[in-house]
Amino acid sequence: MKRTKRWTCFILGVALLAGFAAVFGFKSASDSFSAYSPIPAAAKEIETTSGDAEGELRILAAIEAQDWIVAEYEKRYPNRKIAWEYATGEDFVHRLAADPVPDLIIADNNQANSLVALDLFEDLGQAPYSAAARIQNEWFKGLTLSPFRSMDGNSLIAVPKDYPLQGTFYRADILARYGFPSEPEALASFMEDPANWLRMAETLQAEGHSIVSYGVDILNIGAAGKGYFTPQGSFTRNSPEIKSVASAMMEAERKQLPSNLNMWDEIGRQAIRDGRLIMLYMGEWGWDQLKEWAPGQESRWAFTRLPFQAYGIHGGSFFSILKNSGKKTAAWDYIRLSMELETDYRVNRPGWQWMSEVPDYWPSPLAGEAEAIWNKELQASRPAGITANQWLNAIEARMMEQLDGDLQILRDVVYP
């Protein structure tokens, strides 16, 4: 019954996508999965009308209005006005099918999974935008384009606006006290090897300091930025690298190294203030959280990349222009201005230097279901004596057993 219900919901979702295409008069993608080239080939010019920039530009955003950018835009283009509409979650998606249709959207990065299959968005890899070169050479140097492409890989349908990397916040003074690297890059290099991370966790725990809250956090760190499926539908979280991290997780749990302290509740925050929880894994925006949780202690903390050579994002947003917008020129001008005005904000983040290390990631409409299965398997009891290799193989088998039919339906609908 549950599977039938889930399949029904999936098919209804596919019908909704088809409905969007029918309402807006768009074609469905028909090509098979293709390789994700770093820079798309030269493309033909897109026809625009000379007057399409004037008047009102409608922006649908999952963030509150950035009044200072809007004001600068209207100052530079006095014959244009911004109409900003704020919406989140399902309301955001439903608004895409309502009149008046937005010209430009600013969506949360985690919404890419629900939007990637909608054939609603302009190909920004084409002229006159040529956004791929701007993203990789100027705005986010060397960043993979795979998260911003259509499902068939042929179109660049989004431009990252804010791409905060997930990283490690740590008490540099405490690490130095016990002889561990305290300088950011030295610590990151040390933590690339799960064995080093385990040794540090064990040594510090003996002194009353924890560097991880829950065992599953260890594996989720190792899987950061990996997604769940390749464009061909293969499972991505069963690589040798992730198996190595899974082994470290099992060893950490065997030695009872996780503290079970939650940084999001008051008990965990008190542990942060007391120096008992001394490593936190979150986006670069975490400095604001630290100031709130441990006022006056910010100088004791430092930030570096994740352990285990993992690179993933935590939060952020992206731009997309609607195919049937009559204000494509105005929308593109807004994107360029926003990226110009927020240059200092981007390049002064620590994660700016690691953009080229972010792995390929392919959003999928099935990511939500895959994540639910993944989390359930990580929380479930494991058979005694099972190895990391056996465990991840079993998770992959269950994942594909439950989602293989849906993956095939998705292929058939998106690539008829």
Question: Which own/partner pairs from 384-388 qualify as long-range (CB within 8 Å, at least 24 positions apart)?
Answer: 387/247, 388/243, 388/244, 388/246, 388/247, 388/249, 388/250
Q: What is the mean pLDDT of residues 330-346?
A: 97
Nearest to 212 by CA among 285, 266, 261: 261
SS3 238: coil
How do residues 147-170 score in pLDDT, each as one tens digit?
999 988 889 999 999 999 999 999
Q: What ranges do the domains of the chain cover? A: 14-28+39-164+315-357, 166-313+366-410
Q: Which of 4-8, 59-63, 264-268, 326-330 has the lowest mean pLDDT?
A: 4-8
Which CATH fold would you assign to the domain 14-28+39-164+315-357?
A: D-Maltodextrin-Binding Protein; domain 2 (3.40.190)
Query: Do the first three CATH levels of 14-28+39-164+315-357 and 166-313+366-410 match, i.e. the same topology?
Result: yes
Q: Provide the percentage of residues in the chain whose pLDDT is more than 70.
A: 87
Q: Provide the percentage of residues in the chain whose pLDDT is more than 90.
A: 75
What was the pLDDT predicted at 231? 81
Strand positions, DSSP E, 37-147: 55-61, 80-86, 104-108
How do residues 39-54 score in pLDDT, each as one tens digit?
333 333 334 444 577 8
Q: What b/e sequence results for 367-381 when a residue is b if at least 16 CB atoms lie within 10 Å of its CB, and e otherwise? A: bebbeebbeebbeee
Nearest to 160 by CA among 2, 10, 358: 358
CATH superfamily of the domain spanning 166-313+366-410: Periplasmic binding protein-like II (3.40.190.10)
283: tokens are: 């986006």
Dist. CA 59–CA 317, nearest whole Å = 14
Nearest to 268 by CA among 350, 324, 306, 212: 212
Percent helix, strand, coil in the chain, to 5, is 50, 15, 40
Neighbouring CB atoms inside 10 A of 413's CB total 19
Rounded to two decimals, the pTM is 0.84
